[in-house]
Amino acid sequence: MSKMDPRFEKLYQLALDEIENNIMPFWIEKTQDKEFGGFYGACGDDGTPVEKASKCLILCARLIWSFASAYRVLKKPEYLEMAKRAYDYFVEHFVDRENGGVYYMVDYKGEPEDRKKLVYGEAFAIYAFSEYCRATGDTRALDEALSIFELLEKHAYDAKNKGYWELYTPQWEKMDSKESRVSHGDATTKTMNTHLHLIEAYTCLLRVWKNDRMQDKVREHLDVMLDRIVNQEIGHYIMFLDDLWNPTSQDVSPGHDIEGTWLMMETAEVLGEEAMVEKAKPICLKMAAACLEEDVLPDGSMVYEVKAGEDRPLTNRSWWVQAETVVGFLNAWELSGEDRFLDASLKAMEFIREHVVDHIHGEWFPMLGDDLKPVVSNEQKVSGWKAPYHNSRMCLEIIERYRKHAKA
C-alpha cells in the first residue's frame, strides 16, 4: 500500500462513515413504501411520508443507481435488496411497454400520471439500468437500457447538428422543449443539463456494452460537451442553447460545472483513448480552477447559481452542489497534483458534515440560506428531485478513488 495523503485519508473515513451510517440507513429505514411498493414519492424533513405523493421517474431511477452502486462498491447485502426493490418497482410501473421508454410520473399507487418522455429522465433510466447490470450481472437490465438508448437515437438525436432535443409525447412525437422542466425560454432547444446527464448514462452503458458503435457514440457526445457546451474562454458551461449551439442565456451553474469536470474525465477514461483524455484534461482543469477561484465561499461551500447581469451570486447552499464540489476538486487534485484542490475538497466535505447533514433526522438538508440554516421551502428531504444519488455517489467516488490509490 502506497503512502496516503492524510487529507485524502480523512476524506475517505468521512465518506465511509457518511454513506454507511447516515445516508443509506435513512433511505432503508424511512422511505420504503410497504403498502404500495417501491419507495415513497416524498417525505418531510423528519422522514415522515407525504400522504399520496406521486412518484417521479428521477427519484425512482436514482434510487436504483444509488443502491446498485453502493452494493457494487461496499458489498452489503441490504444494499442489493434495496436495489432489487427499486429495480422491480421501476420495471413494473415506469416502463411504457406500449410506446417504449419510461413514464415521467406515476401516482402513489403506481398508475401512470404523466406519460411524457423527458429526455433528461430517460437518461436516468439508462444510467440506473446500466449500473444495475454492472453491479448484479442481470442482463435484463441491460436490455431495458438498450431499448431506451435506441429510442433516443431514433427520436431525440439531432443527426445534423449533433446533440439531443428535450421533450416528447408518450408516442415519441417531438414537443416544444420549453415545457421540459429543465429548459429556458423560447429559443432554447438544447440544454447543458440534459447533455450532462446523458453523458454519464451513456458512459455507464459503455461499461457494460462495449462495442464500436457505443464507443463512437460516447466519443461524439464528449466532443459535443467539450466543443459546444463548455465556454472554453471562461471555463464554465453554457447552460441553454439553440439547435445550432448558440447560447440563449449567460447564466452560470457552478454546481453543474464542477460536476461536469469529473464526469467528462470519467467518460474520457472509460473510452480508453489517449487523445480524448488529453483533450478533456486541460478543459476540465480550467473549469475546476474557475469554480475554485470564482464560486467557492470562504467557508468552503459552493454558491448555487450566478445570474447574468446581477452583482452577486445566489449564495444559498444546495445540498447537491456541495456533494459535487467534493468530488470535482478531488478529481482535479488527482489530475494536477495541486494541493489547493485537495484542500478545497476536504474543506467542502467538512462544511457538509457541519452544516448540510441533518444530525437529528438523518440524510441532508436540501438547501441552506445565507445564515447556514435550512431553508423552509417546498423541497423536501425526499422528493422527485431529492434522492441519495449525488451524496451517495460522492461517498462512493471517494472510496473507489482511495482504494485505487492504496493499491498503486
Q: What is the pLDDT along the chain (408 residues), one digit of tens a residue?
A: 468 899 999 999 999 999 999 999 999 999 999 999 999 999 998 899 999 999 999 999 999 999 999 999 999 999 999 999 999 999 999 999 999 999 999 999 999 999 999 999 999 999 999 999 999 999 999 999 999 999 999 999 999 999 999 999 999 999 987 776 666 666 789 999 999 999 999 999 999 999 999 999 999 999 999 999 999 999 999 999 999 999 999 999 999 999 999 999 999 999 999 999 999 999 999 999 999 999 999 999 999 888 887 777 778 899 999 999 999 999 999 999 999 999 999 999 999 999 999 999 999 999 999 899 998 765 689 999 999 999 999 999 999 999 999 987
317 DSSP β-pair partners: 368
Beta strands in 200-321 (DSSP E): 230-231, 236-237, 240-241, 317-318
| The pLDDT value given to residue 110 | 98
> Which residue blocks in 156-243 are alpha helix, DSSP H?
192-208, 212-224
CA distances from 277 to 167, 191, 269, 302, 339 (A): 32, 24, 6, 27, 22
Cell 447538428 identifies what position?
161
39 DSSP β-pair partners: 32
User: What does the buried/exposed string (b/e) look like for 319-352 if buried means 16 or more CB atoms within 10 Å of the residue's CB?
Assistant: bbbbbbbbbbbbbbbbbbebeebbebbbbbbbbb
End-to-end CA distance of the chain: 7
The three grid cell numbers given for residue 64, joined into one nine-digit string: 436504483
Residues in contact with 3: Cβ distance below 8 Å, sequence separation at least 6, in sequence order: none
DSSP 301: P
Give the total residue count for the chain: 408
CB-based burial label for 250 (10 Å; 0-12, 13-18, 19+) = middle
Residues in contact with 186: Cβ distance below 8 Å, sequence separation at least 6, in sequence order: 178
Strands 105-106 and 55-56, by their bridges, are: antiparallel
| The pLDDT value given to residue 180 | 66
User: Do 41 and 56 meet the contact criterion of CB atoms below 8 Å apart?
Assistant: yes
How far is Cα 223 from Cα 289, in angstroms, rounded to an integer?
21
Cell 408516442 identifies what position?
171
364 DSSP β-pair partners: 357
pTM of the model: 0.96
User: Do 399 and 20 meet the contact criterion of CB atoms below 8 Å apart?
Assistant: no
| The pLDDT value given to residue 311 | 72
Domains of the chain from N-terminus onward: 6-407 (1.50.10.10)
